[in-house]
Structure 1
């Protein structure tokens, strides 16, 4: 029986080549999109799951409100991990990470440094908490001694080539030498943090025991069976026992008084496997993903697959008139309905299997480009892993059954007498289900078009918004700290070059860079609960001028005033929180030594206009600037029309002052745009899949239009004989589809509005969703539908009426 089904199925597919091509290509495209998105979603959902104890690892997050600022940190106080391990038996182990950013590293016997990112200090318990296999060294002892470092295999290859790195010495930018005591496998790509160098925490230059400072990423490994929510209630006791005394010592008030003043301190646990998609805290180890995008792309994958399936169902029911007599004859010859259903289901599954094979080829061809856009390392082999292979095998059969069920039951239900007498009407207008499916297809297409337009407008808004400083034509030279006291000499040498109009040396920039939070109080304030927590940046005399920032009151730092070393410049947000109506000349202080209560007082010299120094997802917070010799980077404003030549000249100056040090630079607008790289990727992916969804819908519409024209051949011939013009016939054949597209636009618009409002809610600064976006999306959908239908409509309208009336 199955052999017979297959023979008939292949015969029918060969007979209707055009229809078969449309079905297979449309379904294959939908399946390929679905598989690509499935690979992306699975990769996002599997972050950090490579850890053997991933289900028992939690990070401590801090939520603090003080001085008018709400702060949500991924970091916590340095003593909290050891304290939990000591006081609570539910904690099996803890580890702290302290990321120190980018450092210059070299072998002891080398003169040239290499620039290495994500240099991280870690406790010796690192390998007890995380699954980071060592290929050399003892994981329990690797970071237990001072001046030790564990490096990745990639780092070992970069610095030592084929030499054995164990026992060798690496020298870091701080001139500190570390002995390599372990080599670990490269960290998996889908980890929420990455590092090629883990230095022992014993060498971290830090003042330990600060319960009111949050600088370490702390992870705890809970013992099996521990309820994390119940355990997190212990943080209240920790705060009372350990933080309370420091609050009293520094601020002079109890925790209850601190809280009555409107301030709060709280800690909570986030599962390791939730960090990448669910954590939106400040001071993350690396940019995280967003669960919203997983939901969005999962929905897009489902929509595209459904659109492809709808095509199949529409075309199968539309061609029912061509197979009605076949059904009637086979029923007269004794075929039972189950046999007919089996035949049509076999054809459906066969088409789906062929489409699946083509889809796998499409995925293999598309993956390199998709990886480049999505910044992933996805592999088609992931689809045929032991976990995914059963789903992959089942997919064509499930899709085949779903897509073929309605056509099979529909076609097999024909009455043989009515069919053979020609009484079965299967015109386009007679099928309410088919019309509903077309509406569904185009509603999904309109939603995707609206979403794509809004995403791109938001990205454009971010890239063109006035952020309060001029980031164009500013080049940043990195790793200036490597030349120490010669940083100012380097700045002066570069300033002499033609085309350089400004220069500043500072490690603090309004792009992803260093951050430093400090608490300040107005002078004379007796209520220490009335302080303000704000960013405090160390800058030089030329910082504001170089970056094009605007003073709204007071003056800039000046070399003419020696007292400016105790001056401070605030942004408008800080002045507002402090409540100063006339801030110039007012004095504020901070504790240089909190335990000894040694204060440093600053005089407010100026107020700078608010500028964005974090993502536009956040409101502008309070910020202050003081004079400092911080030399993390040098920024230069340039006006040269020949930037490559100018950069060569700057590099020459660098090599004269810092021979052997790598020269690395970046333009500030590129650094700023890097904060929104995830949104840019999402926008590009959205455009691609929206276009493919529309293409698939058009394939189905094209097939339906051809069948509609075929079914109305005689009607068209009669109309032409009676004097109908080509234009009127094209309009007649197109109007049914246009009505459905209009209904789809009406249904899709509120859904798209709601979904995109939810996406924009994450941005503090965002575009307004205008009515014209829906009009544009609707207009595009109508144009696409007209272009798709018009070919078949015009072809039918131009047909010789004599030939039309002779057709059977």
Structure 2
């Protein structure tokens, strides 16, 4: 019997090629989109799970709030890791990362190469994370200063082989001995380093519980609940933070650090949640966003549902052509159950064939999708157990899910009524109309969301962020100048096309060098007059180079020797301090008894030094040395020529270091990479959703036109115009599309308004967005069905009536 079902199913597919093509093509597109997005989603959720102890590894986060300013940090004080290990038996191991090194100049032959994936780590690194060693000994690799662990790709790059243990590596003019080579860290890790130096090699003032600069990870012993363990961290604040805070901040009770107006708290955060659920100050790299993952997942499910609905609609619409087949088979003794099995077999066969075509599409489109999603996915990713199981089960779920309604719908026909003649099956299906509405409502939601995303991206590009990001050249690896940074800057400023220059690692974009610091208003520090702020060390030309504007006071100047004890604050800090006119006022910083007194000489207008997702926090600019980068503002249309002239000056000062540069606007755009990516993906998948929905609408219009050919012929004989007939055939579908857009409006408004809520600075959500979506959907629907409606409307009524 099964073989007979299969044979009949194949025969029906072959005999109705147009119907089969619409179903298979639509389902193939839907399944291919679903699988591509599932590959992306599966990869996003796989981050850091390659570690053997992934379910027991936690990062220690730090929350600090002083003076109404809250800082949520992914970093912790340097003594915290060892302290937790010593004080709590629940802690199996710890490791710390210090990842603030901007870069290191690594020598390869006669050339210095600027490398950025640098970190210092404890010798316990390999006891926490699973980083397989391919050469050397992990137990001793990081136990002494002067050692370095490198990845296999770096070993091949600098030594030509992974067998380089014992070789000497020169970095920043210092020599290090390679003690181990590890496999390249997987792409699905929230950190990715190429050079790991021992913590003992770090020049740092150790032992300060009030200064957070280290990513700190702990491994809990099996069976320990991290939520319960978090309660112990309050004791750490009382025992270690309070004594230092008491001396410096003049507080009398640890309760003053326990929430409310002021706060100092530690919490454990699961390793496997970092990539998608953490966006804190001090992240090692740019993380993903679980919200985007859920959006993509929803798009995948909706597109697959649209494709399945197409199958249901086209199958039930085609019922008018199969009613006699059902009637005859019932008269010949076929029971309803057998008919249901037959129709389910047809839908399953269609789904299996569609899956095969979909897999071909996935393989073909994977390189393009990787470029779009910035991934390195391959066909082998589909061999993941969960994903492979999904692929195997999917056609049967689709076959049953999408085939149930057509099967039960067509198997219920009564043979007597069928053989007497059955009509109107197509037009009387309210359920089918609901499915069409769902398809176009989903398409309208995607269109509206796409418009809103691109409006926000355009807003980001056009908003005045408080500085001019255009034509600012940033030169990496300035440490190679070794004290000649100012000389190099002055030589470059002699080039006519260079307007200004600055030497500093602090830039007004996410991912640049950052330093949190505490300032207070009175000579004696206490919690009530303390503010946690961003504190940047810049030179006298920084504000000029970034083209920032002064709100009050003046900029730094070489003419004023006293500026070494001066500070420029932004408008946000001025408000936090509460001064009507802060220029000339004193603020204090440092650690008792070495307290530094600074005079406010100016207030710079607020500028967005992080992405527009965040409000502008308080910021201080002080004169100091931060020589990681040199930046120049160009004033020419001949950018290429200017870059070559600057490179020439670079070679004159240091000939063995690569001249690596980038532009500030590139860094600025990189902050919104996720938004641009979701915008591109939304456009593509919204287009595919509309295409798949239109395939179904085209099929429905075809069957509708076939059913109503006699009616149309009669109307033409009675004098109806071609335009009137086109309107008559189109209006029913256009009504459904209009209802779909009306239903889509509040849903899309809710979700996109929630998405825009992630931005402290956001574009508006105007009413015309819904109008544009409505017009687009109506035009697309009309164009889709116009071919059939025009064809039928222009038929010769005599021939049509004679054929009937």
Please say whether Structure 1 and Structure 2 have the same fold, judged by a TM-score greater than 0.5: yes
Residues 1:405 and 2:404 are matched in the alignment: yes
Deviation at 1:256, TM superposition (A): 3.0
Write out per-residue CA displacement over residues 113-168 of structure 1, whole angstroms, 9 at most, x where no aligned residue.
11211210000000100000000111121111221111000111111113732011
Q: Please name the residue that 1:87 is paired with.
A: 87
Q: Map 1:284-299 onto structure 2 (within 5 A).
A: 284-299=283-298
Q: 2:109 is paired with a residue of what secondary structure?
A: coil
Supply the distance in 2 between the matched residues of 1:321 and 1:261 (Cα, whole angstroms): 71
d(CA) in 2 for partners of 1:406, 1:423: 19
Rounded to whole Å, the distance in 1 between the matches of 2:527 and 2:104 is: 41
Q: How much does 1:6 deviate?
A: 2.3
User: Counterpart in 2 of 1:26?
Assistant: 26
Distance 2:5 2:343 in 1: 8
For the Cα contact (< 8 Å) 2:106–2:115, is it kept in 1? no
Query: Where does structure 1 lack aligned partners over 5 or more consecutive residues?
Result: none
Q: Structure 1: how far apart are the matches of 2:50 and 2:109? A: 36
Distance 1:634 1:806 in 2: 85
Cα offset, 1:424, TM superposition: 4.4
1:239 to 237, 244, 268: 237
Whether contact under 8 Å (2:26, 2:692) holds in the other structure is yes
Q: Does structure 2 retain, via aligned residues, the 8 Å contact 1:105–1:170? A: no
How many Å apart are 1:584 and its aligned residue?
1.1
**Cα offset for 1:106?**
2.7
Query: Does residue 15 of structure 2 align to residue 15 of structure 1?
Result: yes
- Provide the secondary structure at the position in 1 that maps to 2:568: strand
Task: Tell me the SS of whatever aligns to 2:567.
Answer: strand
Match among 474, 498, 501 for residue 499 of structure 2: 501
Who is 1:310 aligned against?
A: 309
Measure the CA separation in 2 of the matches of 1:393 and 1:259. 53
Name the CA distance, whole Å, in 1 between partners of 2:560 and 2:105: 39
Unaligned 5+ runs, structure 2: none
Paired residues of 2:95 and 2:128 also in contact (CA < 8 A): yes
Q: Which residue of 1 aligns with 2:180?
A: 182
Distance (Å, rounded) in 1 between the aligned partners of 2:79 and 2:524:
30
The whole-number CA distance in structure 2 between the counterparts of 1:725 and 1:172 is 84
Partner of 1:371: 370
For residues 337 and 746 of structure 1, the distance between their equivalents in structure 2, rounded to whole angstroms, comes to 39
> 1:251·1:529 contact (CA, 8 Å) conserved in 2?
no
Query: Corresponding residue for 1:320?
Result: 319
CA contact (8 A) 2:256 2:263 kept: no
Counterpart position of 2:163: 164
TM-score by length of 1: 0.97
CA distance 1:526–1:98, shift in 2 (3 Å): closer
Q: Does 1:772 align with 2:768?
A: yes
**Partner Cα separation in structure 2 for residue 488 and residue 695 of structure 1:** 59
Indicate the larger mover: 734-743 or 381-390. 381-390
Quick one: distance in 2 between partners of 1:392 and 1:528? 59
Aligned with 2:598: secondary structure?
strand
For the residues of structure 2 that align with 1:792 and 1:261, how far apart are their CA atoms?
69
Name which of 194, 197, 202 aligns with 1:196. Answer: 194
The structure 1 residue matched to 2:617, chosen from 621, 635, 652, is 621
Deviations 1:347-395 (A, max 9, x none): 1111111100000000001110111111111122222334432321111
CA distance in 2 between partners of 1:258 and 1:712 (Å): 78
TM-score relative to the length of structure 2 = 0.98
SS for the counterpart of 2:176 is: strand
Local SS of the residue matching 1:284? coil
Shift in Å at residue 308 of structure 1? 0.2
The secondary structure found in structure 1 opposite 2:800 is helix
Cα drift, residue 721 of structure 1? 1.1
Alpha-carbon distance change, 652 to 396 in structure 1, aligned in 2, over 3 angstroms: same
Question: Is the CA contact 1:539–1:625 (under 8 Å) kept in the aligned structure 2?
Answer: yes
Residue 440 of structure 2 corresponds to residue 473 of structure 1: no
- 1:123-142 matches, within 5 Å, as 123-142=122-141
Post-superposition offset of 1:92: 0.4
Are residues 1:579 and 2:575 paired?
A: no
Matched, 1:47 2:50: no
Q: Following the alignment from structure 1 to structure 2, what is the Cα–Cα distance between the partners of residues 94 and 547?
A: 41
Structure 1 residue 777: deviation in Å? Answer: 0.9
Matches within 5 A, 1:730-769: 730-769=726-765
Pick aligned residue for 1:602 from 598, 601, 614: 598
Q: What is the aligned counterpart of 2:214 among 207, 213, 216?
A: 216
Q: Distance in 2 between matches of 1:220 and 1:166?
A: 29
Match for residue 483 of structure 2 among 476, 482, 485: 485
Distance 1:438 1:257, change over 3 A: closer
Output one character per residue of 1:206-262: Cα deviation in whole Å (capped at 9) or x when no partner: 111110011000000000011111111111111101111000111121333455982
- Say if 2:535 and 2:622, in contact at 8 Å, map to a contact too: yes
Task: Give the deviation of 1:468 after TM superposition.
Answer: 0.4
Give the deviation of 1:267 after TM superposition: 1.0
Shift of 1:82: 0.5
Determine the C-alpha separation between the residues in 2 that align with 1:189 and 1:163: 20
- Alpha-carbon distance, 1:691 to partner: 0.8
1:677 pairs with one of 673, 677, 687: 673
Shift of 1:525: 4.9
What SS class does the counterpart of residue 37 from structure 2 fall into?
helix
What aligned pairs does 1:419-458 form with structure 2 within 5 A after superposition? 419-427=418-426, 429-458=427-456
Kept after mapping to 2: 8 A contact 1:52/1:131: yes
2:262–2:527: 8 Å Cα contact kept in structure 1? no
State the distance in 1 between where 2:397 and 2:502 align.
Answer: 64
Report how many aligned residue pairs link the two structures. 802
Specify the alignment match of 1:553 in structure 2.
552
Q: Distance in 1 between matches of 2:364 and 2:586?
A: 65
Partner of 1:333: 332
Q: Per-residue deviation at 1:280?
A: 2.0
Secondary structure of the corresponding residue to residue 508 of structure 2: coil
The answer to whether the Cα contact below 8 Å between 1:554 and 1:607 also exists between their aligned partners in 2 is: yes
Q: CA deviation at 1:528?
A: 5.1
- Answer whether contact 2:102 2:513 (CA < 8 A) is retained: no
Distance of 2:524 and 2:749 partners within structure 1: 49
CA contact (8 A) 2:249 2:525 kept: no
Instruction: Give the whole-Å Cα distance in 2 for the aligned partners of 1:491 and 1:671.
Output: 22
Determine which of 630, 643, 661 is the counterpart of 1:634: 630
Determine the structure 2 residue equivalent to 1:540.
539
CA distance in 2, matches of 1:261, 1:396: 56
Helix, strand or coil: the match of 1:63? strand
Partner SS, residue 614 of structure 1: coil
For residue 15 of structure 1, report the CA deviation from its aligned partner.
1.8
| SS in structure 2 at match of 1:377 | coil
1:599-652 per-position Cα deviation (integer Å, ceiling 9, x unaligned) = 111111111000000111110011111111322212211121221121111111
* Rounded Cα–Cα distance in structure 2 between residues aligned with 1:580 and 1:32: 61
CA distance in 1, matches of 2:519, 2:110: 43
Residues 246-284 of structure 1: CA deviation (Å, up to 9, x unaligned)? 001111213334559821111111111111111121110
Structure 2: distance between partners of 1:201 and 1:260: 33
CA RMSD of aligned residues (A): 1.4
2: CA distance, partners of 1:257 / 1:316: 70
Q: Could you tell me how far apart the structure 1 residues matched to 2:505 and 2:657 are?
A: 18
Structure 1 stretch 27-36 or stretch 143-152: which is displaced more?
A: 143-152
- Which stretch has the larger CA shift, 57-66 or 515-524? 515-524
